[in-house]
Amino acid sequence: MNKPLSRRDFLRIAATTAAASSIGALAVQPVAAQADAGAFSLAMVDWSDPVQTAFEETIIPRFLEENPGASVSINWTNWGRYNEEMTTAFASGVTPDVFQGGAVWAPQMARRNWAVPLNDFINADAEWDWADFPAGLQADVTIRGDIVAVPYRQDLRTLWYNKDMLAEAGIDAPPATWDEFLAAAQATTVRGDMGFEVEGYHFSDSSGNWQRDWQPFLMWLHMADGQFLSDDLTACELNSDQAVAALEWLVALVNEHEVTSYPGLEPQGDLNVLAGRNAAMQLSNADMERVINLYAPDEVESIYPTLPLTGAVQATHSWVNKFFVSSQTSDVAASWAFLRFLTRQDMLEVYSASNNNTPPRLSLLEADYMSDKHKVVLESAVYARTFPQHHNLIALFRPIAAELEQALSGLKAPADALADATAAIDEILADD
Amino acid sequence: MESLSLTRRDSLYRLVNSQAFVALLFLAVPVLLLAALKIYPVFYNLYLSFTRYELFEPPRFVGMKNYNYVFSNTVTRQSIINTLLFTLEAVPIGTALALVVAKLLDQSIRGRVFLRTLYYLPVVSSVVVSAMIWRWIYSPQHGLLNYFLGVVGIPPQNWLNDPNLALVSLVIVTIWGSVGSNMVIFLAGLQDIPRDVVEAARVDGANPLQSFLLITVPLMRPVILFVVVTFTIGIFRNFGLIFMLTQGGPFNRTNTMVWEVYQNVFGYLRLGRGAAISVVMLVIVLILTLISFRVLRERQGA
């Protein structure tokens, strides 16, 4: 009675099953974030071996110890693909409960309603102490009254210099003003037959990164007391006298005084240009200290940070990185509790110490890992400005990046380049 | 009534049991996948190109505004020119080089298999790895290329940062990465050329170059057409190298259409504009393909 399965029957069953599976697969709806009070997902972009070790060996085990039965899954990624990953995650409804974001993310996330406002949680939680975060950092994550993120790191940049190279050139103290800076840069620049051997000042690398000039320019713009956008965010202010003065100064450093090459000298792998003794001065963050300790120990006693230079004003820029709670999380309160844990003083200390990051909490100024050099970097916070809170900053940066290339290459007068950038940016703002 | 019902059941049985039905079932799977993953996205992309869509709110119809942007914005316009330049530089040179290499490796020479493997190696390397290697080769201060130039007294060049050299540098990497795969296609095509035709030409006094140009190349036209079309499409889709090496710079000289799509979609979340640029890309690829067909087919018929 049992008829054996013929080849044709088998093929028919196989084909029917495959067709049904395909149709079923196509009909699957995006799965919403699955977090509940006990299962947390976290997206980390600040990926380095020490940070990963700190999370996997200290921070997450401590969280699990304090929250028995909970579980945490971490997705480690890097800046190169993070934006795409998070954009597609939100589009498909599968975001992690808590995620890291960069310096320009707060207004973006607020505009897209992708971040949960945290005011109620923060205001109800005196023990966690929001006041421990400097006012400037609080302002950076507060969009139209909503606190949309919590800072985990401030990327403060100031002037780093090679004390020995300056001393050999007869300069005993680090520069404090633009004029002193120029004198030091001129005294330390060394040019050979094949171009620069030592840049008195290293402006930017010759990397294929379209933001390579824009980021250091921003600090000179602040020193000239200029700003990128008007306070109401409706107009570009790069055609101001201050901005033109900043760019003229930079163009002169490249073309007239010839103290920096453009495009700049290359880093040698992990060894940046200052640490590699191919430059005497550079604007950088506390990562410089980590790099020197790790890759150029001979330079530990030579390279130091000093406070930001004074042009029209004493100023620098701070990139504030932050944690967000996703609007797609299934349990906002639980996700907040997780974020709260991650940004608690003791956990931020573990995290910041792992990679020599500058902490966002005032109470960590005297943390054990904070070296004297790092404290100087942190002192720069007083002079730091942050990005304007426009939701489309990446698009706005592009025209200025292109025009900076033109001006620094001597193909366009600084005033013309900035006027063109302003026009292009105003066009984007008008269309927005 | 019963016999009618039996007839229906019989015909249903015959239908289900027929080879055609089984074949259709098998075909249904790839057709459905093709429809879902290729055809639907193309039409959805076309629809998006007429909207303003930023993911966090529903698409809003804006008519031709995105297309207007594509042709009026200087950066986007330059991306079209760059892409065409990239194609015009890479496709003829890359195709000719692959054909010559294939012809040389079609001879009975010592180490032929090794050389074929060597030429094919870049194809199996990931774009990221290739880009890292070439970044080092092109490095202005520490690069291999500048080192060799220095040996013969030529000053170092800023390959990836000089606006006059950046696109050419990418073209070189692209050709390097594609010669192997195109060579394999040409090698397959060369096997189909009748040996007696080549030998007859030789008897008539044709030298190897004449034989190659007057016998091999004309007979290889269908294969050349295939390589030209697929290579052109590959260049329009060339994203990894630009991402890794130049990010569209310097001076937007390597800013190609696919990079502009990426910037608009993931950088600015302007999906409508990205969709419009990709539709224009599609149209340009179609036109270039038609031109290739026309040129190579006409000559084939001549």
Which residues from A are below 8 Å from B250, CB to CB?
Answer: 263, 405
Q: Which residue of B has its CA nearest to A111?
A: B56
| Nearest CB to A87; choose among B28, B55, B246 | B55
pLDDT at residue B111 greater than cutoff 90? no
Report the 10 Å Cβ neighbour count for A112: 17
Q: What is the pLDDT of residue A10?
A: 65
Which candidate from A84, A90, A405 shows the least CB-CB separation from B55?
A90
Average pLDDT over residues A203-208: 79
Query: For residue A414, what are its two tokens?
Result: 């600084």
Instruction: Compare CB distances from B29 to A22, A209, A406 and report the shortest one's residue.
Output: A22
Nearest to A395 among B55, B244, B268 (CB): B268
Interface mutation target, options A12, A88, A204, A404, chain B, most CBs of B under 10 Å: A12
Q: Hey, is the C-beta of B128 within 8 angstroms of any chain A C-beta? A: no
CB contact under 8 A, A208 and B155: no
pLDDT-derived band at A47, boundaries 50, 70, 90? confident
Could you please report the per-residue DSSP string of B171-234? HHHHHHHHHHHHHHHHHHHHTTS-HHHHHHHHHTT--HHHHIIIIIHHHTHHHHHHHHHHHHHH
List A105's β-bridge partners, or say none. Answer: none
For the question of whether the overall pTM of this predicted structure is more than 0.95, the answer is: no
Region A23-35 average pLDDT: 46
- Alpha-carbon distance B181 to B58, whole Å? 43
Q: Provide the pLDDT for residue B2.
A: 55
Average pLDDT over residues A353-372: 93
Would the pLDDT of A32 be above 80? no
Q: From the CA of B6, how many Å to the nearest CA of chain A? A: 22
Whether pLDDT at A22 is above 70: no
CA dist., res. A327 & res. A297, Å (int): 45
Nearest to A313 by CA among A135, A177, A161: A177
pLDDT in tens, B121-141: 998 888 889 999 999 999 888
Distance between CA atoms of B294 and A388, rounded to whole angstroms?
54
Classify residue B61 as left (phi > 0), alpha (psi -120 to 50) or beta: beta
Q: What is the dihedral of CA B101, B107, B113, B119, to 10 degrees?
A: 0
State yes or no: pLDDT of A30 exceeds 50. no
Contacts of A266 in chain B (CB under 8 A): 139-142
Q: Provide the pLDDT confidence category of residue B15 given band limits of 50, 70 and 90.
A: confident
User: Does residue A13 surpass a pLDDT of 90?
Assistant: no
Sign of the CA dihedral running A26, A32, A33, A37: negative
Residue B148 has pLDDT above 80, yes or no: yes
Interchain CB contacts (distance < 8 Å): A and B: 93
The per-residue pLDDT for range B244-279, each reduced to its tens digit, is 999 898 888 999 999 999 999 988 899 999 999 999
| Average pLDDT in chain B | 90
Of A26, A265, A402, nearest to B252 by CB-CB distance is A402
Q: What is the DSSP string of A352-419?
A: HHHTTPPPS-GGGTT-TT--HHHHHHHHGGGGEE-----TTHHHHHHHHHHHHHHHHTTSS-HHHHHH
Per-residue pLDDT for B27 more than 70? yes
pLDDT at A105: 94
Kindly determine whether residue B25 and residue A111, on different chains, have CB atoms separated by under 8 Å.
no
Q: Chain B closest CA to A376's CA: distance in Å?
A: 33
Three-state DSSP at A319 gives strand
User: What is the rounded average pLDDT of the residues A240-267?
Assistant: 95
ipTM attached to this prediction: 0.79
pLDDT confidence of A28, banded at 50, 70, 90?
very low
Q: How confident is the model at residue A152 (pLDDT cuts 50, 70, 90)?
A: very high
What residues in chain A have their Cβ under 8 A from chain B's Cβ atoms? Answer: 8, 11-12, 15-16, 18-19, 22-23, 26, 80, 83-84, 87, 90-91, 111-114, 194-195, 206, 208-210, 263, 265-266, 268, 392, 394-395, 398, 402, 405-406, 409
Residue A218 has pLDDT above 60, yes or no: yes
Please report residues of A whose CB lies closer than 8 A to that of B267: 83, 394-395, 398
Q: How is residue B108 written in tokens?
A: 């009975």
Quote the CA–CA distance of A239 and A306 in Å, as a whole number. Answer: 30
Give the 3-state secondary structure of residue A197. Answer: strand
Residue A19 is predicted with a pLDDT of: 63
Higher pLDDT, A432 or A130: A130
Best of B268, B270, B271, B273 to substitute, by most chain A Cβ atoms within 10 angstroms, is B268
**Residue A308 contacts residue A178 (beta carbons within 8 Å):** no
pLDDT at A1 over 90: no
Closest by alpha carbon to A322, among A157, A144, A156, A138?
A138
pLDDT value for A144 = 93
What is the pLDDT at residue B274? 96
Name the nearest CA neighbour of B157 among B177, B175, B178, B172.
Answer: B172
The larger pLDDT score, comparing residue B206 to residue B83, is at: B83
Span A248-270, average pLDDT: 92
Cis peptide upstream of residue A305 (ω within 30 degrees of 0): no
Q: Is the CB of B54 inside 8 Å of chain A's CB atoms? A: yes
Question: Residue B3, class by beta-carbon neighbours within 10 Å (0-12 exposed, 13-18 middle, 19+ buried)?
Answer: exposed
Q: Do B269 and A266 touch (CB under 8 A)?
A: no
- pLDDT at residue A18 tops 80: no
Q: What confidence score (pLDDT) does residue B112 get? A: 85
More confident residue, A80 or A371: A371
Query: How many CA atoms lie less than 13 Å away from A325 in the CB half-sphere?
Result: 27
Identify the band that residue B155 occupies on the pLDDT scale cut at 50, 70 and 90: confident
Beta bridge partners of residue A303, listed in sequence order: A162
Per-residue model confidence (pLDDT) at position A29: 44
Query: Is pLDDT above 80 for B97?
Result: yes
Residue B302 reports pLDDT greater than 60: no
β-strands A150-156, B60-61 pairing:
unpaired
Work out the angle between the directed axes of helices A241-251 and A214-223 (0-180°, nearest 10): 120
Dihedral class, residue A307 (left if φ above 0, else alpha if ψ from -120 to 50, else beta): beta
Residues on chain A touching B135 (C-beta within 8 angstroms)? 208
pLDDT of A260? 95
pLDDT of residue A5: 63
CB–CB of B137/B130 below 8 Å? Answer: no
Which residues, listed in sequence order, are joined to residue A317 by a DSSP beta bridge?
A385
Mean pLDDT, chain A, rounded, equals 90
Does residue A138 surpass a pLDDT of 80? Answer: yes
Average pLDDT over residues B5-26: 80
